[in-house]
């Protein structure tokens, strides 16, 4: 039976959900709001990855249990399959200066060809053709503004060096804006390079971390193996749209961002085998969940492409039974996905209890296991 529990939603209006052929109530985006004390927004990671707290929510019982993330191996079942997103975060934040001395913040998006980049620029001001920018930490390296395309700029660099090498040398991790750091350099920069990256990251191209995976350590992986928990990998390159708030009044009106993904043949085979055996598929993070639920049929097929799937109540889940995830921003597509899994009323109750128990929120915060 598909999971359709989505709680009560106040005075919305009834419509026919064309995708699922059922009566559904239009959900307002403000129903995903909640008040969060500022001190609960984690500014640094926990001392050890698996030392984060873990809120355990078995849906069949409706209870909330408070644990440590290192307890995960004892909570899962022999034969469960954990699906990880192996996307690797680029050190995409750049510090630049105009020839007049004005500071410009950059965010690397893509390399069109060696020496030609697409970036987002903040504090750039009026732009004239050919405007020259210098990299703060390597002034001899320059970038000339060639054109603007939407909210991105095309920069021609004075070097043909691969973008990855330059970012590794001069870039900073693209932490979300609610994690506060000094403008150009911060004593925590090196720690951020290590901790805002999963230990299994391998596929470069992401500008945000799949944060549910930040809690895993080699020791925990070994204990999961010993407990008979399988692991497979997908790739979804997290884009800026992940942090875009839902501004539409109704959730159904929100325009979802697209992100590139890959589901390898080895992963598809393992997941199909698990489904045939009746074993649970548990997504590590909302990104992994979106890749899996983007599969059109009942079987998994190896493929790659773009997904713009927006999972929100009353979504009917096809593949994902359990979810490991962090605590998400109000009125975001991520918290909507959680509400689709547990029901809006339960999502609100869980978050209230997490706040009352002083869990740490967002990217560097604590986690929850929904099963």
**How confident is the model over 14-63, as pLDDT tens digits?**
333 333 333 346 789 999 999 999 999 999 999 999 999 999 999 989 89
Question: Where a domain ends, among 104, 136, 171?
Answer: 171
Is residue 176 included in any domain, yes or no?
no
Predicted local distance difference test score (pLDDT) of residue 1? 26
Same domain, yes or no, for 157 and 213? no
Range of 98's domain?
93-171
Is residue 300 included in any domain, yes or no?
yes
Predicted local distance difference test score (pLDDT) of residue 12? 38
Residue showing tokens 């750039």: 124
pLDDT in tens, 271-292: 999 999 999 999 999 999 999 9
Q: How confident is the model at residue 4 (pLDDT cuts 50, 70, 90)?
A: very low
Task: Decide if pLDDT at 228 tops 90.
Answer: yes
Task: Decide if pLDDT at 343 tops 50.
Answer: yes
Task: Decide if pLDDT at 176 tops 90.
Answer: yes
Buried b (16+ CB within 10 A) or exposed e, 290-304: bbbbbbeeeebeeee
Is residue 56 included in any domain, yes or no?
yes
Same domain, yes or no, for 54 and 115? no
Predicted local distance difference test score (pLDDT) of residue 255? 87
Q: Residue 159, CB half-sphere, CA atoms under 13 Å: how many?
A: 14
The mean pLDDT of 309-314, rounded to a whole number, is 94
Predicted local distance difference test score (pLDDT) of residue 242? 66
Same domain, yes or no, for 129 and 258? no
Same domain, yes or no, for 244 and 353? yes
Predicted local distance difference test score (pLDDT) of residue 245? 79
Same domain, yes or no, for 68 and 150? no
CA–CA distance, 347 with 362 (Å, rounded to integer): 15
Same domain, yes or no, for 239 and 332? yes
Same domain, yes or no, for 58 and 138? no
CA–CA distance, 215 with 238 (Å, rounded to integer): 18
Work out how many domains the chain is built from and give that number. Answer: 2
Same domain, yes or no, for 240 and 343? yes
Task: Decide if pLDDT at 10 tops 70.
Answer: no
Same domain, yes or no, for 283 and 339? yes
Here the CATH number for the domain that contains residue 68 is 3.40.1780.10
Question: Where a domain ends, among 126, 155, 171?
Answer: 171
Same domain, yes or no, for 238 and 356? yes
Is residue 2 included in any domain, yes or no?
no
The neighbouring-strand residues paired with 17 are 22
Same domain, yes or no, for 222 and 359? yes
Same domain, yes or no, for 97 and 81? no
Phi-psi region of 205 (alpha: psi -120 to 50; beta: other; left: phi over 0): left
């Amino acid at each position: 039976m598909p999971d359709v529990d989505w709680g009560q939603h106040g005075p919305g209006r009834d419509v026919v959900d064309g995708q699922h052929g059922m009566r559904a109530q239009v959900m307002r985006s403000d129903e995903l709001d909640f008040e969060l004390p500022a001190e609960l927004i984690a500014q640094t990671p926990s001392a050890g990855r698996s030392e984060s707290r873990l809120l355990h929510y078995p849906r069949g019982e409706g209870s909330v249990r408070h644990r440590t993330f290192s307890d995960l191996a004892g909570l899962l079942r022999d034969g469960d399959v954990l699906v990880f997103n192996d996307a690797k975060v680029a050190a995409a934040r750049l510090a630049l200066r105009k020839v007049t001395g004005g500071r410009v913040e950059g965010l690397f998006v893509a390399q069109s060809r060696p020496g030609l980049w697409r970036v987002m620029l903040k504090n750039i001001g009026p732009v004239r053709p050919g405007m020259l920018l210098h990299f703060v930490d390597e002034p001899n390296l320059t970038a000339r503004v060639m054109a603007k395309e939407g909210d991105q700029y095309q920069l021609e660099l004075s070097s043909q060096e691969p973008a990855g090498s330059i970012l590794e040398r001069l870039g900073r991790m693209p932490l979300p804006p609610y994690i506060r750091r000094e403008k150009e350099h911060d004593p925590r920069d090196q720690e951020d390079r290590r901790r805002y990256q999963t230990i299994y990251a391998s596929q470069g191209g992401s500008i945000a971390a799949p944060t549910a995976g930040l809690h895993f350590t080699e020791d925990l992986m070994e204990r999961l193996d010993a407990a008979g928990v399988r692991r497979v990998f997908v790739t979804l390159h997290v884009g800026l749209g992940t942090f875009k708030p839902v501004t539409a009044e109704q959730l159904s009106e929100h325009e979802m961002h697209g992100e590139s993904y890959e589901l390898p043949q080895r992963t598809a085979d393992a997941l199909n085998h698990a489904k045939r055996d009746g074993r649970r598929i548990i997504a590590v993070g909302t990104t992994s969940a979106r890749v899996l639920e983007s599969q059109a049929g009942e079987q998994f097929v190896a493929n790659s492409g773009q997904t713009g799937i927006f999972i929100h109540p009353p979504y009917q889940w096809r593949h994902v039974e359990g979810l490991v995830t962090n605590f998400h921003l109000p009125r975001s597509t991520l918290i909507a996905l959680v509400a689709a899994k547990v029901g809006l009323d339960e999502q609100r109750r869980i978050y209230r209890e997490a706040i009352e128990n002083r869990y740490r929120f967002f990217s560097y915060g604590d986690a929850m296991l929904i099963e």
